[in-house]
């Protein structure tokens, strides 16, 4: 993807302490849930009458999407898979009423140990693993015949604010996108073995032996004015951009500080013009029936 600019979580890609990011991941997943709900609906519509018995949410984080999987498929065994115990605990609490299970696994090594499943969701997770094609192949290898792998990666840059905020320098989000794109590339390079590797997601799913490979893009369109919860989540997301530190122009750092300061009249929490507009792509493929 135009790297970080299309990344659902817009994190600046400093080394991750996933557990410390629990609140951010949770708030963002709630904002972006509509794209996952859309994808799950589309997957079900592709397969009338088929109900998955075992579902894995790989890289589930705090389990917002896992809970949606369980809500859609109440009879299924639904497992949140992640490497961060604190996030899994959130996933367990959130999904307790729906019987969501959790499984702590270090990826990609643990992929081979995952239970076999009829539906596997990996949302914004595979790009954190060095060899993405191998990870896709390993995920596909855990599908039962006829099972579906759904990999959410890429889309379009998210927009939260008008181009001109009435203060600072217009076009803040374009400049943040450029910085985040560089950060994403650096993060991928750190994962190793990624130079010159094409990010051809449909190609990776096909190479993994999956059929009926599709790419579908879903909109998250939450117009202004946002409710207080969504505004707080947007403020939290924008606050993360401050971690870009001196890579940010001072004028943009100052704009961000004002946007995330709840006491500032220009704060996101007080703005009626903040919105969420995002497009997220979900690649799906089906394991051959034997
Ligand atoms: C960007 S978050 C995505 C969370 C959620 N799927 C979503 O889209 O909102 C990536 C998740 O993958 C997990 N993760 C990343 N690298 C991992 C690894 N090597 N082993 C296990 N889990 C990992 C992190 O703990 C985190 O919860």
Is the CB of residue 18 below 6 angstroms from any atom belonging to ligand 1?
Answer: yes
- Calculate Rg over the CA atoms of the chain: 19
Task: Identify whether the C-beta of residue 1 lies closer than 8 Å to the C-beta of residue 7.
Answer: yes
pLDDT of residue 136: 97
Which segments of the chain have a pLDDT < 70? 1-15, 193-195
pLDDT of residue 176: 96
Name 55's bridge partners: 78, 119
Distance from the CA of 104 to the center of ligand 1, in angstroms?
Answer: 11
pLDDT of residue 12: 45
Which residue's structure tokens are 């917002």?
Answer: 64
pLDDT of residue 75: 97
Is the CB of residue 9 below 6 angstroms from any atom belonging to ligand 1?
Answer: yes
For 107-127, b where at least 16 C-beta lie within 10 A, e where not — what string? bbeebeebeebbbbbbbbbbb
Pairing mode of beta strands 54-58, 77-82: parallel
pLDDT of residue 214: 98
Pairing mode of beta strands 77-82, 276-286: unpaired
Contacts of 96 by beta carbon, 8 Å cutoff, 6+ apart: none
Is the CB of residue 60 below 6 angstroms from any atom belonging to ligand 1?
Answer: yes
List pLDDT tens digits, range 190-230.
887 566 788 999 999 999 999 999 999 999 999 999 999 99
pLDDT of residue 201: 97
List pLDDT tens digits, range 16-51.
788 888 988 999 999 999 999 999 999 999 999 999
Distance from the CA of 82 to the center of ligand 1, in angstroms?
Answer: 6
pLDDT of residue 2: 28
pLDDT of residue 190: 87
Instruction: Put the strands of the sheet holding 143-159 in their side by side order.
Output: 101-104, 77-82, 54-58, 117-123, 143-159, 276-286, 211-222
Mutate to test the pocket of ligand 1, among 61, 64, 112 (most ligand atoms within 8 A of CB): 61
pLDDT of residue 195: 66
Distance from the CA of 125 to the center of ligand 1, in angstroms?
Answer: 5
For 164-182, b where at least 16 C-beta lie within 10 A, e where not — what string? ebeebeeebbeebbebbbb
Distance from the CA of 19 to the center of ligand 1, in angstroms?
Answer: 10
């Amino acid at each position: 993807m135009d790297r970080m600019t299309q990344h659902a979580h817009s994190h600046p890609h400093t080394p991750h302490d996933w557990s410390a990011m629990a609140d951010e991941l949770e708030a963002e997943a709630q904002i972006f849930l509509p794209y996952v709900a859309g994808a799950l609906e589309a997957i079900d519509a592709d397969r009338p009458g088929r109900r998955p018995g075992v579902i894995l949410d790989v890289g589930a984080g705090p389990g917002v999407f896992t809970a949606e999987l369980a809500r859609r498929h109440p009879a299924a065994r639904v497992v949140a898979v992640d490497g961060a115990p604190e996030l899994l605990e959130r996933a367990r609490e959130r999904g307790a009423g729906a019987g969501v299970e959790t499984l702590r696994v270090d990826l990609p090594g643990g992929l081979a140990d995952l239970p076999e499943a009829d539906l596997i969701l990996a949302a914004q997770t595979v790009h954190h693993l060095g060899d993405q094609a191998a990870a896709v192949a390993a995920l596909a290898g855990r599908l039962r015949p006829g099972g579906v792998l759904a990999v959410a990666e890429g889309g379009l840059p998210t927009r939260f604010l008008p181009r001109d905020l009435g203060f600072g320098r217009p076009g803040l989000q374009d400049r943040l996108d450029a910085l985040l794109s560089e950060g994403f590339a650096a993060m991928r390079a750190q994962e190793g073995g990624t130079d010159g590797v094409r990010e051809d997601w449909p190609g990776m799913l096909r190479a993994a032996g999956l059929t009926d490979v599709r790419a579908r893009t879903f909109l998250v369109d939450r117009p202004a004015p946002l409710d207080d919860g969504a505004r707080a989540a947007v403020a939290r997301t924008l606050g993360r951009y401050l971690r870009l530190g001196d890579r940010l122009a001072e004028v943009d750092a100052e704009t961000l500080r004002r946007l995330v300061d709840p006491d500032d009249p220009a704060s996101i929490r007080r703005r009626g013009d903040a919105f969420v507009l995002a497009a997220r792509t979900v690649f799906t493929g089906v394991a051959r029936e034997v």
